[in-house]
Amino acid sequence: MSCPDCGGDEAVFAVPEALDEYAPEGSLTIGLCVDCLRVHPSDGRLTEGGVGPLADILPDSEGGAAAALMVGFLDSLALNREAIVECAEYAERNGVDVHLVLDRLEHSVPDPHFDVGRRHSQLEMFL
């Protein structure tokens, strides 16, 4: 599946039921673009088995899906704070270190639509 914004590959995750209110357009699956870090509804094949885009950064688990959802909200901390906190806490409860994920994304994603390092610093204040 390709990102509708930039054409990049997407890592596809099943949205955890507990976070379905945060899924774009109520989608059951989401795609996180490996180039621009935008999140979109997806009908693509799930990223599974530790292979595929971002497999070395995000696990193919509910925690990984929660972290992917969180990344989709990072373009506006002020508007999306509740969603960011809920997704980050869910990811952490499911074994994902969101700070490590953001650090790795900052150093591996070629053209994010927001400043990952800056957002990471800002998130540290309220996570």
Residue 45 token pair: 């094949």
Choice between 49 and 79, residue whose per-residue pLDDT is larger: 79
Asked if residue 6 has pLDDT above 80, the reply is: yes
Q: Count CB atoms within 10 A of the CB of residue 102.
A: 24
Closest CA to 65 of 87, 43, 86, 40: 87
Q: What is the pTM of this model?
A: 0.93
Asked if residue 125 has pLDDT above 80, the reply is: yes
Asked if residue 29 has pLDDT above 80, the reply is: yes
Q: pLDDT tens digits for 34-69? A: 999 999 999 888 876 665 778 889 988 999 999 999
